[in-house]
Amino acid sequence: MTANIDDTAFILAAGFGKRLRPYTENKPKPIVEVGGIPMIDQALDKLAEAGIEKCVVNTHYKAEVLQDHLKQRANQPQAIISHEPEILDTGGGIAKGLSHFAAPFFVVSGDSVWEDAAHKPALQQMKDVWDAHKMDILLLLQPVETMTLTHGVGDYDLDTQGHATRSKDQNGAYMWTSIRINSPKIFKHAPEGPFSYLELLDEAQQQGRLYGIVHDGLWHHISTPEDLEAVNGHKARSEERRVGKECRSRWAPYH
C-alpha cells in the first residue's frame, strides 16, 4: 500500500435511507442489493482490492441487521463497528471513529455503487494522485453528462490544476460520488456531536487544499426506488450481453 494512505477506511452506513423506501423499511440502505449484491459488499470488495485491510463502519438505523450481515462476510476488509445511539451526520460520524486512523484514509458511503474503467480501478487512481503536501481532501467526481441512469447534480467544478470548487447552484460539471481521501487533521477543530462533512469540504476549498479527479467509469446515484430499478435493469442487460457473447464465442469454432 502507498506509504501515506492508511490501511483502514471509513464507510458511512448509519443513514435512514428514507427516499429508497419501501426497500429500506426492514433493512439499512447499504445492504439493499444492486445486481444481486448488497451495495456495502461491493464497496468493501473494491476497498479490499485497493489494499484496505480494515473498515470502520458507522451504524444507527437497523444497526443490528447491518452488523449481522457484516459478521457473515468471509472476505477482507475486517469490519469495525462504530455504533451511534444518536446519529452524528456525515461529519460527526467520521470524527467519532478518528482514533482508528494514523494517516490519510478513504471514506466511502455504504450505498456507493461504481463501475471501474478497464485500465485502472478508481481507488488506485486516487492513491496515485494523492499528495499530502498540497491536499487535505481528494474527491472522486463523476461527469454529470455521463449519468444517464440516475439523476446527476452538478456539485463541483474543477480547474486545470485539479482544485475543486463547490457549485452552490448545483450547475457544476461534476457530481461528487462521496468517495474521498482525507487527512485526519481536517477534524482537528471539528465540533463535538453531529455536524455535516460539507463544513470540512468548504474549509479545505477556502484554503486551496480541496482537489478532485474525474472518474472515467460509471457511478450510480441510487436515491429512489426508480434509481434502483434503473440500475438493476442496466446490470441485468449487461449480464445478458456478456453471457450471449460467451456463448457465441464458444460455438464459433464449430461454424
Whole-angstrom distance, CA of residue 184 vs CA of residue 168: 26
Mean pLDDT rounded to a whole number for the chain: 91
Cα-to-chain-centroid distance, residue 180: 8
Q: Please choose, from the candidates 131, 142, 151, the residue with its C-alpha nearest in 3D space to the C-alpha of residue 179.
A: 142
The predicted-structure confidence for 176-186, as pLDDT tens digits, reads as follows: 999 999 999 99
Cα separation of 60 and 88, whole Å? 9
- Whether residue 84 is predicted with pLDDT greater than 60 in this model: the reply is yes
pLDDT of residue 253: 63
**Percentage of residues of the chain with pLDDT beyond 90:** 79
